[in-house]
Amino acid sequence: MKIGILINEGPYTHQATDSAFLFARAAIEKGHQVTRVFFYHDGVNNATRLTEPPQDDRHIVNRWAKLGQEHGIDLVVCVAAALRRGIKDENLAPGFRISGLGQLIEAGIQADRLVTFGD
């Protein structure tokens, strides 16, 4: 099954990001394909290289980058939401890219399921 994921919440403030990551990892382990993760609204904060959590905490941005790299997942950040929050290409973490809402629509069309995390 092809799965697309939409994340609307930022890291460290809501459970949505952690739940989405665990869902994606479990889906891959079960043999499904996660084709794209689209970060929207405050979810764009999951993609910034400026995140520096304490050493004893999980590094959510690095988790997504590693999962995307290892499994060929397209990690897309909404351009409008990113710019509203001061996120530009130069401060994106490796593996993420900025694009428009068309990428979300395409994910919904191409995937068998589009799963949303966060409000």
Clarify whether 106 is annotated catalytic: no
Closest CA to 41 of 101, 92, 94: 101
Strand residues in 54-112 grouped as ranges (E): 74-78, 96-99
What kind and span of H or E run contains 38?
A: strand 33-39
Give the whole-angstrom CA distance, residue 66 versus residue 104. 21
Sort strands 113-117 and 96-99 into parallel, antiparallel or unpaired. unpaired
Check if the beta carbon of residue 27 is closer than 8 Å to that of residue 34. yes
Could you say which of 44, 78, 92, 104 is catalytic?
78
**Catalytic residue set:** 78
